[in-house]
Amino acid sequence: MDNTLKISDFDYDLPLELIAQTPIEPRDSSRLLVVQRQTETMEHRHFRDLGDYLKPGDLLIANQSRVIPARLLGYRAETRGAAEVLLLAERSELGPDHWETLVRPGRRLREGARIYFGAPDQEPRLIGEILQRTEAGGRIVHFQVPDQETSNPGDPYNVLTVRQRIDEIGRMPLPPYIHETLEDQERYQTVYARIQGSAAAPTAGLHFTPELLERLRQQGVRTGFVTLHVGLDTFRPVEHENVSEHKMHSEEIELDSATAELINETKKAGGRVVAVGTTSVRVLESVASFYDGKIAAYKGNTNLFITPGTKFQVVDAMITNFHLPRSTLLLLVSAFMGKELMERAYQEAIRERYRFFSFGDAMLLL
């Protein structure tokens, strides 16, 4: 990595009213800034026009991770004071139902503290015990469902798992810059989200509708799916001025053999691999870095940090939303399109009043 990269060079001023607070309907009516990297030209289109830029034989790779209702509101067992837990990642290597989390109020929630979830005047529906602090300032929490009142106490299938309880009582963890209430929780999921595990949506995929995917399929564009469970570190600004000092959070990824085959067939036939979102880019480029530039099935973790100067081995084009200043995602996009072109595109989007961030508009980088 370039040791001279400064995060202050990846800052920009955004008028607050351009931060999208609600999703737009229908999903594919959002705007699309099309950027040709070779000629450095830009066009203003809508997401539904995506097919005009894709050819038969191209392959879309999208992240099928599903957002879990990761925000749990409870109270401290000892004092009854309010407590909040944000689930970041399941840590099954530490034992069943162990999660890495962020907690509030952090100062009061030390090792050994217990948090009850549910109405204060009723038996708790879920209990969390804080086991340890993490390097990043979060907490490892062990969850359990209290002894259950079941309609048939002897029936082991009648007992709710921790995961089911979380689904039942958790709330959708919208990013901190969204202040509006989300009426329809499914609008913070992609239409193809299948595998639970993210603390934030892979937002570039929010623009697809089933109809648009079907149109693309009929046009000869294929689609493959990978999984990366998005952690909240995605939204964290890079704290160190020297980018090389930033420690990337590890995220769980999976690319199965069917998708690996699709990618290899596409490359061989001269088609383009079009990554939907920075998370798909990270899966593809991580796997290529593990296998010496080749693509094969992989399941594990990655902490790949893509910054300007990184050579892309798989991704030929990218669909992405507009990202926060000073973020790892802005660095990734700058690596793909070049910093100067990124700055021009962002200034153009601000001038044309595009909507920014999770519920905002998109860019297609060709």
The CATH number covering residue 109 comes to 2.40.10.240
Same domain, 61 and 87: no
Same domain, 185 and 328: yes
Look at residue 262 and tell me if it is in a domain. yes
pLDDT digits (tens, 9 = 90+) for 164-175: 999 999 998 888
Give the other-Cβ count within 10 Å of 128's Cβ.
28
Same domain, 139 and 240: no
Residue after which a domain boundary falls, among 138, 169, 200? 169
Angle at alpha carbon of residue 175, lines to 342 and 198, rounded to 5°: 95
6: which DSSP letter? B
Same domain, 144 and 188: no
Domain that holds residue 25: 7-67+178-365
Residue after which a domain boundary falls, among 169, 191, 206? 169
Close Cβ partners of 228 (under 8 Å, ≥ 6 residues apart): 63, 65, 202, 251, 252, 253, 279, 280, 282, 283, 302
Across residues 248-275, what is the average pLDDT?
Answer: 96
* pTM, full prediction: 0.90
Query: Predicted confidence band at 42 (pLDDT cuts at 50, 70, 90)?
Result: very high
Same domain, 45 and 97: no
Same domain, 159 and 299: no
Look at residue 2 and tell me if it is in a domain. no
Q: What integer best gives the mean pLDDT of the chain?
A: 93
Same domain, 201 and 298: yes
Same domain, 136 and 23: no
Please state the domain count of the chain.
2
pLDDT digits (tens, 9 = 90+) for 187-238: 999 999 999 999 899 999 999 999 999 999 999 999 999 999 997 777 678 9
The CATH number assigned to the domain holding 243 equals 3.40.1780.10
Same domain, 265 and 344: yes
